Structure 1
Amino acid sequence: MSLRPLGALRDRSDLQSLGYLVAQALLMGLQWLHGFAWPAWLASLFLAVGISVIHHNHAHLPMWTRRGLNRATDLAITLLQGHPTCVFHPTHRLNHHRHRHGGDDAMRTWRFGDHNHLAGWAMHPLQASVAVYPLVIRWLGRVRRLHPGAWRWYALQYLLWLASWGVLLAIDPARALLLVIVPQLFGLHWLLAANYLQHAHADDRSRFGYARNFEGLLNPLLFNIGLHTAHHEHGRAHWSSLPALHRRYRARIDPRLLEAGLARYVLRVFMLAPLMPALRSRSLRATAAFNHKDR
Structure 2
Amino acid sequence: MTLFRHPRDRFPVLLFMCVFALDLTVYFTARSWWLPILWLALWVIPKGWICAWNHHHQHVPMFRHALPNRLLEVVFGFQTGVISNAWFLHHVLGHHRNYLDQDKDESAWKRRDGTTMGEFEYSAFNALVAYPRAFRVGLQHPRALRVFLGMGVVQVALLGLLFWHDWYNALFVFLLPMAVSLYVTVWATYFHHVGLDATEHTQASYNILHAGYNLMTGNLGYHAAHHAKHGVHWSQLPELHAQLAKDIPATLYRQPGIPFVWTNTEAKVELPVGSADPAGT
Name the TM tier (shorter chain).
0.7 to 0.9
Unmatched tracts of structure 2, length 5 or more? 263-277
106-115 or 120-129, which deviates more: 106-115
SS for the counterpart of 1:208 is: helix
Asked if 2 retains the 8 angstrom alpha-carbon contact of 1:213 and 1:229, the reply is yes
**Aligned residue-pair number:** 256
Question: Of 2, 10, 25, which aligns to 1:30?
Answer: 25
- For the residues of structure 1 that align with 2:135 and 2:64, how far apart are their CA atoms? 29
TM-superposed deviation, 1:29: 1.4
Q: Deviations over 1:192-219 (max 9, x none)?
A: 1111100112232355211001121210
Q: Deviations over 1:66-113 (max 9, x none)?
A: 333223323332344334221223311122111234232131212366
SS for the counterpart of 1:111 is: coil
63-72 or 225-234, which deviates more: 63-72
Find the counterpart in structure 1 of residue 267 from structure 2. none
Find the counterpart in structure 2 of residue 221 from structure 1. 216
TM-superposed deviation, 1:167: 1.8
TM-superposed deviation, 1:242: 1.0
State how 1:31-70 maps to structure 2 within 5 Å: 31-35=26-30, 36=35, 40-70=39-69
Q: Deviations over 1:138-179 (max 9, x none)?
A: 3444555xx5xx554333211112112222222222211111
TM-superposed deviation, 1:115: 4.0
Find the counterpart in structure 2 of residue 258 from structure 1. 253
Find the counterpart in structure 2 of residue 76 from structure 1. 75
TM-score for the superposition, normalised by structure 2: 0.79
Find the counterpart in structure 1 of residue 89 from structure 2. 90
State the one-letter code of the partner of 1:53: A
1:110 to 2:110 alignment: yes
Find the counterpart in structure 2 of residue 135 from structure 1. 133
Identity of aligned residues (%): 22
- For the residues of structure 2 that align with 1:209 and 1:93, how far apart are their CA atoms? 19
Asked if 2 retains the 8 angstrom alpha-carbon contact of 1:114 and 1:201, the reply is no
Asked if 2 retains the 8 angstrom alpha-carbon contact of 1:28 and 1:44, the reply is no
Find the counterpart in structure 2 of residue 290 from structure 1. none
1:244 to 2:243 alignment: no
1:184 to 2:183 alignment: no
1:157 to 2:155 alignment: no
Sort the Cα spacing of 1:82 and 1:99 in 2 relative to 1 into closer, same or farther, 3 A.
closer
TM-score for the superposition, normalised by structure 1: 0.76
Choose between structure 1 and 2: higher helix proportion: 1
- For the residues of structure 1 that align with 2:45 and 2:83, how far apart are their CA atoms? 20
TM-superposed deviation, 1:191: 0.9
Unmatched tracts of structure 1, length 5 or more? 1-5, 268-280, 282-295
- For the residues of structure 2 that align with 1:15 and 1:45, how far apart are their CA atoms? 23
Q: Deviations over 1:23-43 (max 9, x none)?
A: 221221121233217775444
